Amino acid sequence: MSLSNINSLALTHLKKEWMRAGLFFMLFASGGYFLFNRFWETRYALRWLGLTSVFGAWQLFVLWRSLGENHREGEVDLLPTLGWGNAISFARGIFIAGLLGFLFSPWAEGWLAWLPFTFYLFAALSDILDGYLARINNHVTKLGAALDMNNDSWGVLIVTLLVFWYGQVPLWYLPVGLARYFFIFGLWLREKQGKQNFEMPFSYRRRIFAGVQMGFIVSMLAPLFSPPATTIAATLFMIPFLGGFLYDWFLVTGRIDPEKGAAFFDKILTSAWMRWLPLLLRLCTVASLAYIAFAYSLGALWTLAQVVLIIMLIFGILGRLIAILTLIFAGLTFFSILPISAILLVLSTILLFTGTGALSLWSPEEWLIYNRAGEKADV
């Protein structure tokens, strides 16, 4: 059988899978509408259905348009199935569509208030899982890359608008959602002006900043936190994220030499003070938690949580995870322990970006930053 016939049969199978994906979306949208119509208000249910359907239709269009790219890099044979990785990527887009549906409606109360958090948590976990499944099944395709790009582009914008609409973040946080669009527009404008855009080199920094930002926004959708704690945290998380975009802009416009820039950051990251500064931050965080334990009566469970955090910070165990838990602790107890809670927010945010540094016993999360799960090591 010729290659064209094989690809034709594969494309036929893919179109059937596309129809199943469309059915999945219709079930999701209709189920969500009936749920909200029953437990919320009809006008909000209709608004959710309308907005969700718009992005869901776009997601289906992107999938349809990319079916012909369901092949591995360097190959021309179409794979006859989407594969688990692409299926998870599509589901991630549907969760993002569900998030868009909440925009312009008030934050629901009771258990419904947790649905935006749940949708984005699933979307964030899917972002990790889809690539892993694609790699272990040897199903990494250009179609998957197209879905990922679509989800990344729209997901950050939609969720940023939603947390702003809910009043969780300040106005000046909005550039986080718009940064990529300004970046692409700037590159397009430079091309129109006949200016050269240079290739942007790979950087682990982007993975760290993107992952941290995603985790932060997930927490902002939990109906547990409120300003001014969220305002302070949003500002702290925004600064390095936008700083990273500015640095990348200098790279692609040729204002910073990529090799010199990489050497500069390598020198900083491998310097002695970058190993010992996080240790100092850990000790300051421990001192703050110990002060809270002695100065405030928050209850037995809170005290136990503080003891666990202190022990793990001292020994540098699961450093970035403990930084997240310390952030949650500071957010939940913000009004009870001012101003020390604000200090905790600052310290734990910096630790989340830097890691725990020297004398850390166990930091398995560092492997996930510098490696991709499911990727075979080079022989």
Long-range contacts for 103-107 (Cβ within 8 Å, ≥24 apart)? Answer: 103/51, 103/158, 103/161, 103/162, 103/165, 104/47, 104/51, 104/165, 105/44, 105/47, 105/48, 106/44, 107/166, 107/223
State the pLDDT at residue 233.
Answer: 94
Residue 378: which pLDDT band, with cuts at 50, 70 and 90? Answer: very low
CA 79 to CA 280: how far, in whole Å? 52
Q: Over range 318-324, report the average pLDDT.
A: 91
Mapping DSSP to helix (H, G, I), strand (E, B) and coil, where does residue 183 land? helix
pLDDT tens figures, 97-108: 999 999 999 999
pLDDT tens figures, 156-169: 999 999 999 999 99
pLDDT tens figures, 26-66: 999 999 999 999 999 999 999 999 999 999 999 999 999 99
| Residues 6 or more apart in contact with residue 329 via CB below 8 angstroms | 302, 305, 306, 309, 344
Residues 163 and 221: beta-carbon distance below 8 Å: yes
Q: In sequence order, what are the beta bridge partners of 141? A: 72
Q: In sequence order, what are the beta bridge partners of 362? A: 317
| Residues 6 or more apart in contact with residue 276 via CB below 8 angstroms | 357, 358
Our measurement of the distance from residue 137's CA atom to the centroid of its chain's CA atoms, rounded to an integer in Å, reads 24
Q: Report which DSSP code applies to 72.
A: B
Q: What are phi and psi of 72, to 5 degrees?
A: -70, 160
Q: Where are the domains of the chain?
A: 1-166, 173-270, 271-370
State the pLDDT at residue 379.
Answer: 36
